[in-house]
Amino acid sequence: MTVDKLLLKIINFSSPNFGDKLSTKDSRVLTSMASTINSNLFITENQSKLLIKILQENCEKIPEFSEEIKTALLSPSWSKPFRHIEQVKKFYIGKNEDQNSILVIELSFSSEIRKILSNLNKHLENLTPSTNQKIWQCELTEKNLVLLYEALEPYKFDISEDIKNHYDTIKSWSETEFRDQYLLTTMSSTNFHKAITADLGVQTPIDQYIINDRSIRYQYFTETAKNHGETLVEVISNRSKPRIWIDKNQHTVADIIESLVHLKRLPLLIVFDNVVNSKYLETLNILSDALEKNGIIEGIGVYFRLTNDDVGKQFNTIIANKKYNQQLDDNLKVAAVMSGKIPKFFLKNAWQPMSVIALDTKMGLRHGKTSVYTNCCDLIIEYAEEKSMLEGRRIL
């Protein structure tokens, strides 16, 4: 008797108590296979191997058929050819819904490859699968292309010629030669020098901290190795990414503003991220003291107000008394907004922050209008007791 016919015989004979004799998982798998065998599809070769394995492991649990199972499995045979599943493995450059070029991966079900892609996701930029995970899309960048090529090529993917050519070109580059083109001492672009001059001014004394700090903003490398050190100025200026977390338990708002003044990082945008009026009042008092300690008493605009309850009145009165109602213009040194509620006039004004401090953030500036607005800044400080849950960052 063929193995598939024996399975049908066992299930038909044992039903409806078939599931009581085996584990829930094995019972469900065998019942599903029996249904497939009865259909026009039949089972695949991999399913046949799983069927043989389950029958071997459960032979003694079905004593009525144990001898027939042993006999059938000595030389397994099947009543029909196995169903063939076309294996799709493609890696190419395609278009997304906005007609922008992207990297596309097409594949049939493969738990191994899906696991590889999932593990690789933390190193890639915007790798997203379709609902059935048969198509994966990723931004077309040099890093993404190289990582995916080297991960998929050993699994005999059909890789398009343009991706192969891009990969060969990228791998032919010398990192040293590339970095040397963007060393601060060798960059000759007139636009670069104009931007630096407009930022700092011709007469501004520039120390190594400021040089390191601007490397992300202007995309250059320095010949001097970055020393992350222990001071706040060192850590901020030597950051590797625009976003950095500073521990609220270790440093004050005044410490941060002092460092930003040293690095010539004004104007500054402060983002309040609280939901309780009393916390808004407490944070405003802390901010006010920090600004005054650093000699900043004018050019300040707080662009939201609280409801006129007891706490709200105090909050609004401080703004009025200390003249924290400066109009948004080129003379503004510090602006303060509520998280997720950037005023519309910010979008129409040429004013832009040189740095951002998000106060008491739990999820970080990741969502909403404020997040989109602050993405233009190359220094975003998240000031809280704990790191944002969304990604790890350099800790001081």
Phi-psi group of 323: left, alpha or beta (phi > 0 → left; psi -120 to 50 → alpha; rest → beta): left
Residue 266 Cα to chain centre, angstroms: 28
pLDDT (tens digit, 9 = 90+) per residue, 259-296?
A: 999 999 999 999 998 677 788 999 999 999 999 999 99
Using one digit for the tens of pLDDT, what is the confidence trace for 159-202? 999 999 999 999 998 888 877 877 877 777 777 777 777 777 76
Residue-level pLDDT at 198: 78
Banded pLDDT at 19 (limits 50, 70, 90): low
Question: Both tokens of residue 271?
Answer: 């983002």
Above pLDDT 70, what percent of the chain? 91
* pLDDT value of residue 225: 63
Reply yes or no on whether the pLDDT at 330 is more than 80: yes
User: Is the pTM above the cut of 0.85?
Assistant: no
State residue 361's pLDDT score: 67
Minimum mean pLDDT range among 12-21, 25-34, 363-372: 12-21
pLDDT reading at 395 higher than 50: no
**Whole-number pLDDT of residue 382:** 92
The full set of domains in the chain, from first to last, is 3-74 (no CATH), 89-172 (3.30.780), 174-230 (no CATH), 241-384 (3.40.50)
357 pLDDT higher than 80? yes
Q: Quote the pLDDT of residue 381.
A: 94
Phi, psi of 391 (to 5 degrees): -165, 155
What angle is formed at CA 129 by the lines to CA 126 and CA 131, rounded to 5 degrees?
Answer: 140
C-alpha pair distances (Å), 65 with each of 5, 272, 296, 370: 13, 72, 88, 69
Between 19 and 103, the higher pLDDT residue: 103
What is the C-alpha separation between 68 and 72, in angstroms, rounded? Answer: 6
User: Rounded distance, CA 107 to CA 1, Å?
Assistant: 36
**Mean pLDDT computed over every residue of the chain:** 86
When pLDDT is cut at 50, 70 and 90, the band that residue 393 belongs to is very low
Q: Tens digits of per-residue pLDDT, 133-148?
A: 789 899 999 999 999 9
Give tens-digit pLDDT for 206-234. Answer: 788 888 898 889 888 887 666 666 799 99
Residue 208, pLDDT score:
82
Contacts of 378 (CB under 8 A, 6+ apart): 216, 217, 242
pLDDT of residue 204 exceeding 70, the answer is no
Give the residue among 296, 370, 364, 293 at the shortest CA–CA distance from 333.
Answer: 296
